[in-house]
Amino acid sequence: MTAWLRSSGEDVSIAVLATPRASRTELAGVADGRLRIRVAAPPVAGAANEELVRFVARTLGLARSAVTVTVGAAGRRKTLVARGIAASDVRRRLAV
């Protein structure tokens, strides 16, 4: 299992290091045991979290409602939970 990915029943937890105000939203590898994602939104009024959830849901082929920020909504280090997908599918679709 990858350090940034944990499976619990039908849920998958993804440890993320988010970098707001990037030129575009994209995967940027792994840093400090977390999946690094650059987010093209400012960390104002939840805009960066919304963009992060939208990007991860789209990349994983899930509905936006299936991905939530459960830890770290106000910081760069976050934990997302994705429902309805296997950890192996997350690794394959994120390809990092």
pLDDT of residue 8: 87
Give the chain's residues under pLDDT 50.
none
State the residue for tokens 């998958």: 12
The whole-model pTM stands at 0.93
pLDDT of residue 1: 55
Q: Which CATH number among 3.30.300.30, 3.40.50.300, 3.40.470.10, 3.30.1200.10 corresponds to the domain 5-94?
A: 3.30.1200.10
Closest CA to 10 of 84, 88, 92: 84
**Tokens found for residue 88:** 């192996």
Burial of 63 (0-12, 13-18, 19+ CB in 10 A): exposed
